[in-house]
Structure 1
Amino acid sequence: MEPIVEKDLLQKLKSNFGYDSFRLEQQKIIENVLAKKDTLVIMPTGGGKSICFQLPALFFEGITLVISPLIALMKDQVDSLKANGISATYFNSSQTEEEQQHVFDVIVNKEVRLVYVAPESLQLLQNILHQNYISCIAIDEAHCISSWGHDFRPSYKQLAFLKKSLPDVPVIALTATADKATQEDILEQLAIPNATRFISSFNRENIALEVRPANDRVQQITKFINRRPNESGIIYCLSRKATEQLAAKLSQSGIDARPYHAGLSFEERAETQESFIKDDVQIICATIAFGMGIDKSNVRWIIHYNMPKNIEGYYQEIGRAGRDGLPSHALLFHSYADVIQLRQFIANTANQEVQEAKLERMKQFSEATVCRRKILLSYFGELIEENCGNCDVCKNPPQFFDGTVIAQKALSAIYRLQGKEAMGTVIDVLRGAQNAAILDKNYQLLKTYGVGKEISWRDWQHYLIQLVNQGFCQIAFHLNNTLQLTEFSEKVLFNGEKVELTTPIEISKESPKQEKVSKKKTSTSNTLFERLRKLRYRIAEEENIAAYLIFSDATLRELEIQRPQTDEEFLAISGVGQRKLEVYGGEFMEEIKTFIKEKKKGKKDTTLETYKLYQEGLSVEDIAIQRGLKEQTIFSHLAKLYLEGKDISLDKFIDANTLKLIQSAKKVLGNETALKPYFEFLKEEVSYEQIRIGLTILQKKTL
């Protein structure tokens, strides 16, 4: 392999990925891999980990073998590469024997650059696991190999054989989340102890962090979503049942949401995931399995309906938002019921002590009264001096007051209940409740009964949680979660120690009138971004790929601002490479030009200008030249005009035999409207433009 210089790397970065410069430590990592050195990459989700092995693959003679944990996600990765003009495929147990043989053929013939495979399917690739075919091995989501990690998968344990059987092939292990213990374990398990480590900043500044008490969660979530129409989001729940119930409640409120969990069939999960990736479904209510490895860049928010069991899991899940760098939101609901349930989950597990310690850190993060990002980053060993300014604590600092009397009342109640009752009953005693649980035990006779009736139930819960956090009382999880006093309690009860508490923060609420106006304004907005988003969706439908694989939201925002109208201007946009310019540039520039003209002259149908030139006898090529558009754009105009009943003869653009082929394909594919299935069915021998014309003619005949 000839020496590769920085210019070569930047050229590939722009032409295949559309970027003008590298991010974080991408360039150093790529150079390390190209020097055939083992590499460990710890980089935040959305930081561009994939490019660290996808770009070197363009320079290696053999294939780059990518180990990926979930079969359902490989297609997304491969589609993304193909959209960037990079040959790639995947191999897994769900494929037919014929499909698997095809993968072997393209590997042997060196017709692909990257092959994705699940660890369980590696044994089926024994015939090509030698250096004649493989130039690099990338192990994605590498934390799965470690029992110290938050997402351990036994199938990853076997991967050490790769380095032992291919000692001269460089291994690059990548993950977004690994503390020091997990990092060491990854290197040991993969047999790459001397790998160069690249640990990037864990700080995702574009994600706003927020924690709320878990009161009226469904109502809060509904309002949160209604303020963000047309935005994709994921809601994580602890149980399958919760995903089903929440999706149903949101659907009843007119919100497009679907459940996703391991109890669904493979087909149901794949269909739901595909719909979400392609923007056909706005929201997924999921257990933690969902979203791993997904490159969907336009997820704008993440909600944790329940508290995660550790900070690694929380960090990785919120990292699925804002991968395009645009402002995004992470909302976590916190309750002690979740803590109790999670403690039950991890009871009697192999590494219970470690998991309990990690859960405690997660709890501390949720209950924090200081900058949350400082806590999050310090967990991964990264310290920042300044408060982030983009979390709920920074934006709305808690107000402290002298809560000594409140603390004395609470601790007295716990004392008189002899440490035998959980938080709910303690609050009922303080508030003077008259339910059966109180009266049956004669708690109404206690001296502290009703001493705090002026304080609401929720506020008492808020104060008691703070007293637990400050060590003035504790939850005995092993004794039915009863509240008990600690050695610090007597300082407050008998020694006059002062206690500072924070005032509960009210979640701001929009009035129904404001919300209605807001929704109406959004739905009628005719911004250039919305126009480009709809165009992107239409093209994605035709090609049967995810919309964000065409252009990310960040690229659409830049297109909206810069409004390029020439190939050179369009290519200068971040996220636009040579192939995407050639395939999509014409239609997007046409949409931009149309938008500008409409703003200047009032709304005008641009297809009528094409129709006028067509009536004058100009060819498609001449019309395209005169209008400064791509020929495929002119064909789409003619198809639209044809269906509207204008005097257009599409037959002259397609021969009878080709039309018959498309008609035969339609009989098999039925009501399929996407062009890609026809393209593949016809063995890629009929162009997309011919397929579009043929389907338009056939559609008109059925009207």
Structure 2
Amino acid sequence: MRNPLDVLHETFGYSSFRGRQQDVIDRIMAGVHTLAVMPTGAGKSLCYQVPAMARPGTGLVISPLIALMHDQVRSASAAGIKAAALTSANDDREETVRRFLAGDLDLLYVAPERASGEGFRRMVDRVQLSLIAIDEAHCVSEWGHDFRPDYRLLRALVEDHPEIPRLALTATADRHTRDDVLAQLGIPADGLILAGFDRPNIRYSITPRDGLPTQLAQIIRDTPGPGIVYAPTRDATEKLAAALATSTGRPTRAYHAGLDAAVRARNQEAFVTSEDMVMVATVAFGMGIDKPDVRFVAHAGLPKSIEGYYQETGRAGRDGDPSVAHLFWGADDFARATRRIADDIGEDRQRSERQRLASLGALVEAAGCRRAILLRHFGEDPPAACGNCDNCLNPPSSIDATEAARKLLSAAFRTEMRYGITHLTDVLAGRDTEKIRTLGHDKLSVFGIATPDDLALIKPVARALLARDALRSDDYGGLSFGPGARALLKGEETLAIVKPAVRATRRRGSAVADEHPHDPLFETLRACRRTLAKELGVPPYVIFHDATLREMAAIRPTSLAALGRISGVGARKLEDYGRAFLDALNG
């Protein structure tokens, strides 16, 4: 066996492990089964790449998507690792099988569907394995937000080789999901390494939708670098992509399952290789991309759960540099989600889905630290304030909206719970419209009872009531009572809402742009990287991350030996790229 620290330095160019990497790797080197829960960007891949190279045999990595496997193989190969993927999309499957059986691979990536098959299991019996790594391991659990039945079948594969250390890895698993993963993969309870969920480099912001294309365009203008905008429908992705391309001038593409497969592939490849593209996509996009330099993720609508939100925002800033996650939401998001639970979810899961929706409601309506809410959801005990979310940076004030809420609920009740917010507002305001006269709603006790202050709060109050399931919206837009309405009407509970912050005359600087001022030498190194990437047909980040280039620009090494001491410059990359970067550094 080799020393893992030697592998880390020689192959990856790093002098020490980060966070809990050392703890995970020590267990795998000792042959102990492990579940590692680590935030995206914490270096999960190193936790199996290093021991796979340090232990005798081939590391078998089970990964959920072909695109993700290809991306990982490309990055591993650039570092000098002998890696391959065995997928239906590869033309060299026979050669990959030959190398695997000959022991000529450090890493083999396969999908769970293949890994659980009888034929593949029998082939594995003929090979010496260094470890079995199961990435995105929350997919094993029926309690996980991305449950995939084929992951459940992996138990047979790992039990075929009880002596081979198995490493399950995930960034998104609450306590219930973690317990289920341990049980399903036969990992003892003391095999859990919980590295935490915090991503301190991500700035979280959540805002009600109010002119969404304009709101998104402002984020794009404020945030240099690649970004992802998640839209709730296929149609919305294409419309937003067109609008944002026009308003911002940034290269912008759309991605969704309805596009031709060749178009999707071209758009994804363009995004992966770009240093400033914006991709407007449905939420499936990103899971198959290990792109470290995504500077922002924006949600144009409500995600399905806090777990989903955490995973999707985690696609920003994997390189550890400052990044932004901004969520835009509206009352109709909660109305649609409530209807989806009622219409599409089995009764056995409805309670848990309603709890997930309530957790999202608490997040978007919060007046306190967003990060603290996220981390508490995953069982952590964070500080009360993080200093890097919208509510910490610009604390909002709360106002008591209980009276306005009761009036809105009363109006919904008196109009037989058949009408939407616009009509209810007209009734409460006492407006003389033909519809109100025809329906006789001008004779109701709630007609005209709202004050101007009440009317100013109706929209945010409606959002809050829908988020808390005190109001529900039907397919026709009518508002009816949810379980939370009774306590408000009876005076047993109050409703406080966040008062929208007044926009400052001088806008706060960008979290991304302010952290790293313009450096001409850094830009020269990026241009060198861009040229090499184009020649080699790989994304720029495969050559070096931005952090490595910034260290080069700061230290300005003048020899290959000095360049090799820069963090992230391993032996293979020094040999392949060192001379080109020295030339760029020294003019």
TM over 0.5: yes
Q: Is residue 93 of structure 2 the alignment partner of residue 95 of structure 1? A: no
SS in 2 for 1:307: coil
Matches within 5 A, 1:126-275: 126-130=121-125, 132-193=127-188, 196-229=191-224, 231-253=225-247, 254-275=249-270
- Determine if contact 2:331/2:466 at 8 Å carries over to the other structure: no
- Measure the CA separation in 2 of the matches of 1:175 and 1:332: 23
**Residue 465 of structure 1: how far off its partner (Å):** 3.6
Q: Is residue 385 of structure 2 the alignment partner of residue 392 of structure 1? A: no
- Determine if contact 2:61/2:108 at 8 Å carries over to the other structure: yes
**Amino acid aligned to 1:145:** V
- Measure the CA separation in 2 of the matches of 1:434 and 1:321: 51
C-alpha spacing 1:434/1:557, structure 2 compared with 1 (3 Å):
farther
Q: 2:374 is matched with which residue?
A: 376
**Residue 395 of structure 1: how far off its partner (Å):** 1.2
- Measure the CA separation in 1 of the matches of 2:273 and 2:434: 53
**Residue 432 of structure 1: how far off its partner (Å):** 4.7
- Determine if contact 1:81/1:87 at 8 Å carries over to the other structure: yes
Q: 2:479 is matched with which residue?
A: 482
- Measure the CA separation in 2 of the matches of 1:23 and 1:151: 27
Report which structure shows greater RCO (CA 8 Å, sep ≥6).
2
- Measure the CA separation in 1 of the matches of 2:454 and 2:242: 31
C-alpha spacing 1:403/1:186, structure 2 compared with 1 (3 Å):
closer
Structure 2: which 5+ runs fail to align?
A: none
Q: 1:539 is matched with which residue?
A: 532
Q: 1:632 is matched with which residue?
A: none
Is the deviation greater in 568-577 or in 296-305? 568-577
- Measure the CA separation in 2 of the matches of 1:481 and 1:407: 16
SS in 1 for 2:368: coil
Q: 1:119 is matched with which residue?
A: 112
**Residue 529 of structure 1: how far off its partner (Å):** 2.3
- Measure the CA separation in 1 of the matches of 2:204 and 2:395: 14
C-alpha spacing 1:170/1:500, structure 2 compared with 1 (3 Å):
closer
**Residue 126 of structure 1: how far off its partner (Å):** 4.0
SS in 2 for 1:149: coil
- 1:639-681 Cα offsets, whole Å, 9 max, x none, are xxxxxxxxxxxxxxxxxxxxxxxxxxxxxxxxxxxxxxxxxxx
> Identity of counterpart residues, as a percentage?
40
- 1:400-446 Cα offsets, whole Å, 9 max, x none, are 34556645654554454354434343223334556665454233444
SS in 2 for 1:388: coil
Q: Which protein is bigger by CA-based radius of gyration?
A: 1
- Determine if contact 1:475/1:481 at 8 Å carries over to the other structure: no
Q: Is residue 50 of structure 2 the alignment partner of residue 55 of structure 1? A: yes
**Residue 581 of structure 1: how far off its partner (Å):** 2.0
**Amino acid aligned to 2:317:** G
Q: 2:16 is matched with which residue?
A: 21
Matches within 5 A, 1:260-659: 260-279=255-274, 282-347=277-342, 348-350=344-346, 351-401=349-399, 403=401, 406-407=404-405, 409-410=407-408, 413-414=411-412, 416-432=414-430, 437-452=435-450, 454=452, 459-466=457-464, 474-476=470-472, 482-484=479-481, 485-491=485-491, 501-506=497-502, 527-594=520-587
SS in 1 for 2:254: strand
**Amino acid aligned to 1:503:** K
**Amino acid aligned to 1:236:** Y
- 1:180-211 Cα offsets, whole Å, 9 max, x none, are 11112212222334671111111111100100
SS in 2 for 1:306: coil
**Amino acid aligned to 1:428:** D
Structure 1: which 5+ runs fail to align?
A: 595-703
- Measure the CA separation in 1 of the matches of 2:520 and 2:438: 64
**Amino acid aligned to 2:527:** K
- Determine if contact 1:297/1:553 at 8 Å carries over to the other structure: no
Computed over aligned residues only, the root mean square deviation of the Cα atoms, in angstroms, reads 2.9
- 1:503-553 Cα offsets, whole Å, 9 max, x none, are 222456889xx99xxx9xxxx977222222222111111111111111112
- Determine if contact 2:417/2:478 at 8 Å carries over to the other structure: no
C-alpha spacing 1:396/1:575, structure 2 compared with 1 (3 Å):
same
**Residue 454 of structure 1: how far off its partner (Å):** 3.8
SS in 2 for 1:255: coil
**Amino acid aligned to 2:95:** H
C-alpha spacing 1:85/1:404, structure 2 compared with 1 (3 Å):
closer
SS in 2 for 1:363: helix
- Measure the CA separation in 2 of the matches of 1:394 and 1:447: 42
- Measure the CA separation in 1 of the matches of 2:439 and 2:551: 67
- Measure the CA separation in 2 of the matches of 1:542 and 1:433: 68
The TM-score normalised by the length of structure 1 is: 0.76
Q: 1:80 is matched with which residue?
A: 75
Q: 1:627 is matched with which residue?
A: none
- Measure the CA separation in 1 of the matches of 2:518 and 2:55: 48
Is the deviation greater in 277-286 or in 150-159? 277-286
**Amino acid aligned to 1:368:** A
C-alpha spacing 1:61/1:411, structure 2 compared with 1 (3 Å):
closer
**Amino acid aligned to 1:24:** G
- Measure the CA separation in 2 of the matches of 1:353 and 1:427: 32
